[in-house]
């Protein structure tokens, strides 16, 4: 069972309703004449995490991305940026005037900051918090962050794994505004590198089952309004628990990466053997 807080009512609502096994998600991007800010990436990211969580709970999901009419270059840039952040492509992409039936049928609507709601449309509505780069004084390049051919360049220093941005954003509740600073990116990059190396090391040990308490806590956190920050905190603890065997740590991180989408097993099998 998944429960999401409805922004309109403030109430926690079970999704999908009526004991169905298909969760329909609709991500709404604002209609803007020429500029599309980075907040457009966070809403599809939250939708991606919601779809992954549903699948972890045995549900099928369908995601619809409602976009403004975009020139080909901008549409391709948006596709690339979503791919860089590990966001699964939505099943359907359409303009606001072409997808009325899909919008009406959605169980959950994710609204990017500034996207208008639609009166008379049911389902749970979630306002996704704004995200943007820090001012120049914060250390992040102060470039214009319009949707250029390489959108993530407006946030991410050269050579930074875009999945570090995903980790940074996942560390905040989906309704909380996020400012992407160089310090926050550095911390996310270090954490991602450390976890990938640990997962690679743990993978060399015999497999062990995920501890029951860890599995229960993870499912409970994700089912409660997508509590991904709590899951990340839990992984920090699991990594240092002496009572959890290395093989169980590997299985835990690999299992939860199905939701996190951080490619935590990237280094598995690529360790350099010491020369005798």
Average pLDDT over residues 24-41: 71
Residue appearing with tokens 């979630």: 126
- pLDDT over threshold 80, residue 37: no
Give the pLDDT confidence score for residue 202 in this predicted structure: 97
- pLDDT over threshold 90, residue 274: no
Peptide bond connecting 16 to the previous residue in cis, omega within 30 degrees of 0? yes
Q: Report the predicted TM-score, pTM, of the whole model to 2 decimal places.
A: 0.87
pLDDT band at 180 (very low <50, low <70, confident <90, very high): confident
Average pLDDT over residues 107-117: 80
Give the pLDDT confidence score for residue 137 in this predicted structure: 44
Residue 128: φ, ψ to 5°: -90, 130
**How many CB atoms are located within 10 Å of the residue 86 CB?**
17
Q: Is 240 exposed, middle or buried (0-12, 13-18, 19+ CB in 10 A)?
A: exposed
The sign of the torsion formed by the CA atoms of 179, 47, 106, 147 equals positive
Return mean pLDDT, the chain: 83
Which has the higher per-residue pLDDT, 7 or 238?
Answer: 238
CA–CA dist 210, 212 (Å, integer) = 6
pLDDT in tens, 182-199: 899 899 999 999 999 999
Give the pLDDT confidence score for residue 74 in this predicted structure: 79
Which has the higher per-residue pLDDT, 105 or 148?
Answer: 105
**Residue 152 DSSP class:** G
Per the rule left: phi > 0, alpha: psi between -120 and 50, beta: everything else, 68 is beta
pLDDT in tens, 129-173: 988 765 544 444 444 344 444 456 556 666 778 899 999 999 999
Name 43's Cβ contacts closer than 8 Å, sequence gap at least 6: 27, 28, 29, 110, 111, 112, 115, 128
CA–CA dist 170, 166 (Å, integer) = 6
Give the pLDDT confidence score for residue 275 in this predicted structure: 35
């Amino acid at each position: 069972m998944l429960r999401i807080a409805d922004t309109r009512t403030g109430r926690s609502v079970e999704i999908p309703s009526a004991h169905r096994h298909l969760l329909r998600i609709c991500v709404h991007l604002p209609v803007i004449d020429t500029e599309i800010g980075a907040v457009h990436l966070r809403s599809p990211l939250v939708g991606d995490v919601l779809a992954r969580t549903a699948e972890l709970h045995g549900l099928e999901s369908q995601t619809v991305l409602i976009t403004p009419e975009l020139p080909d270059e901008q549409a391709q840039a948006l596709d690339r940026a979503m791919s860089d952040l590990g966001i699964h492509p939505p099943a359907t992409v359409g303009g606001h005037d072409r997808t009325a039936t899909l919008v009406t049928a959605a169980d959950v609507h994710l609204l990017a900051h500034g996207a208008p709601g639609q009166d008379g449309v049911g389902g749970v509505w979630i306002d996704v918090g704004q995200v943007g780069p820090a001012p120049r004084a914060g250390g992040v390049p102060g470039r214009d962050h319009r949707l250029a051919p390489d959108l993530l360049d407006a946030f991410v220093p050269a050579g930074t794994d875009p999945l570090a941005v995903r980790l940074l954003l996942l560390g905040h509740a989906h309704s909380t505004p996020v400012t992407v600073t160089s310090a926050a990116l550095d911390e996310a990059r270090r954490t991602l590198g450390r976890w990938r190396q640990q997962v690679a090391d743990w993978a060399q040990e015999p497999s062990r089952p995920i501890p029951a308490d860890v599995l229960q806590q993870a499912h409970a956190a994700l089912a409660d309004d997508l509590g991904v920050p709590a899951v990340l905190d839990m992984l920090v603890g699991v990594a240092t628990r002496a009572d959890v065997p290395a093989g169980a740590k590997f299985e835990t991180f690999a299992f939860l990466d199905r939701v996190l989408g951080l490619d935590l097993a990237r280094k598995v099998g690529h360790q350099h053997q010491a020369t005798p």
